[in-house]
Amino acid sequence: MIIVTGASGALGRLVVEQLLTRFPDRPVGAAVRDPGRCADLAARGVDVRHGDYDDPATLRTALRGADRLLLISSPTLDPDIRTRQHLAVIEAAVACGVRAVAYTSFLGADQPGAAQGPNAAHHATERAIVDSGLSGTMLRNPFYTDAFVNAGLRDAVTSGTLTSSTGGRGLNTALRSDLAAAAANVLTDDAHLGHGYDLTGPLWTYPQLAAELTSVSGRPVASVDAAVDTPLGFLMNLARAGLLERQTTDLERVLGRPPTTLRQAVTAALA
């Protein structure tokens, strides 16, 4: 059995969906804080279990009988709490005889200095998996394309202006759906055991995004560089500093196909 923790979240649900539709012969379980939120998954044959990151006893029950585990990182941004929660899952996995664990880490978590930076919890979790003796696969995800290429783009088409503070620099984001498909592949293929993957999507820029909006919508959209006073502004500033331009072929390799293109993402967002 494959168990997905945090399966009631956006990424977790997509991974479960991938497993159900592409690997129907594999039993799937979902370890979640509130099983009532996953009645729809239970109706489709998913073994929904109570598994709370803050309650180690529930984790030992939730992971019983699992052969493989996808540890989806906790949504909390507090590194100490997040690390404690992840360690509880790893300890439960060892106690329950789980054979292999895949972990949704973040780009750069394996780099020197990561233990003291924003990736501290991811770095600690990766080290804990290695030290546990479990066969581990590290899925170092980038920021989600979905946060940038979304239904809000219709406003840009209406106004004719797409504003960003990236200075035209590139972003190596990936669609959540592609990352979920990659996770499902890892969970069902022993060839990925013991590997760490730095997952990046096709590099894109806001001028390119404006051009795709123009092409797909048939209405002119201009890219304007200016301060952005939204939660995305912080991520745009990271891009402006050139911090989101790292590229690898790992995502394509794990997917077995090219990642979703910017045009495909824009077309879906405007549909």
Domain map (residue ranges) of the chain: 2-141, 145-172+201-246+257-270
Q: What is the DSSP string of 119-153?
A: THHHHHHHHHHHHHT-EEEEEEE--BGGGTSSTTH
| Residue (of 266, 156, 254, 255) closest to 204 by Cα position | 266
Which CATH entry fits the domain spanning 2-141: 3.40.718.10, 3.40.250.10, 3.40.50.970, 3.40.50.720? 3.40.50.720
pLDDT more than 90, % of the chain = 93
Which CA distances in Å does 29 have to 32, 96, 108, 250?
Answer: 10, 14, 30, 27
Residue whose structure tokens are 């729809």: 40
DSSP element (H, E) containing 209: helix 206-217
Helix/strand/coil for 45: coil
pLDDT at residue 229 above 90? no
How would you classify the pairing of strands 135-141 and 100-106? parallel
pLDDT (0 to 100) of residue 22: 96
The model's pLDDT over 169-213, given as tens digits with 9 standing for 90+, comes to 999 999 999 999 999 999 999 999 999 999 999 999 999 999 999
Output the six-digit token pair for 148: 């940038």
**If DSSP codes are grouped into helix, strand and coil, which group holds residue 196?**
strand
Average pLDDT (253-261) is 97
The CATH code that applies to domain 145-172+201-246+257-270 is 3.90.25.10
What is the crossing angle of helices 262-270 and 206-217, to 10°? 50
* pLDDT, position 141: 98
pLDDT band (50, 70, 90) for residue 115: confident
The token duo for 268 is 């879906």
Tokens of 175: 């669609």
